[in-house]
Each structure stands twice: as structure tokens, then as C-alpha cells.
Amino acid sequence: MTEQKWRIYAPEGRDTSFDVKMNLRNFSNYARFLGRGETFVTPVSRDDYGDDTYQMQVKDEEVMVVAREKGQHHKEKGVFDNLDSGIFFKVSDENAREAETKLVKAFF
């Protein structure tokens, strides 16, 4: 198995101001009914006062995704503990670009 590491979702050339926790939550709920009907992320846990976690399949790799907003009471330990908000994903170097591309598509 290839080593995975945590990365910050920050695609080059994209305005990510709307790519936030609540939008990812909504898109994961309704994506199968909209557009191409594809579900990009599958919810693992949702917490109004903490991080939401998701899984995403990239090739043969399970990728964990964490969505965080400012003001949350608790965070997933070890996932950019110093950052108050953002989207983070844990993936191998080999699939990092494809995983980030798939996350971008999750926000359409």
C-alpha cells in the first residue's frame, strides 16, 4: 500500500471561497439528483460542532476527506490542527492531483 499524507485542498487558479464545509455537505446529499448524477464523496460522519468526514474513491485508493469551519468545538486529531477552516484530504502522491480534481467536481 502506498503511503498517504494529509493535504490542503487549494486547487491552483480556482476561487475556493464557496468550497466550504456546508457546501460539500449539501453537494454530497444531492449530487446524485443533479448534473451527471455522480456522487463524488460519501459521508462517514457529520458534526455541526466539529469536522465532517467523507470517503472518496480514487482509482483503487480510499481517500479520506475532512471539512472544517471556523468556530467548531473539536477537530479530527492530526489533521492540520493549527487551521481553523478548510477542506483536507489524505491521499498518496500518485493520486493527489486526481483526488483534488475529483473534489473540485464535487462542488459543481
Average pLDDT rounded to a whole number, residues 80-94: 96
Burial of 46 (0-12, 13-18, 19+ CB in 10 A): middle
In which domain, by residue range, is 62 found? 4-73+82-106
pLDDT band at 31, cuts 50/70/90? confident
Share of the chain above pLDDT 90, in %: 77
Q: What are phi and psi of 42, to 5 degrees?
A: -115, 125
Average pLDDT rounded to a whole number, residues 39-58: 94
Q: What are phi and psi of 84, to 5 degrees?
A: -85, -20
What pLDDT sits at residue 46?
A: 94
Look at the chain and report how many structural domains it folds into: 1
pLDDT band at 88, cuts 50/70/90? very high
Average pLDDT rounded to a whole number, residues 1-30: 91
Single pTM value for the model: 0.92
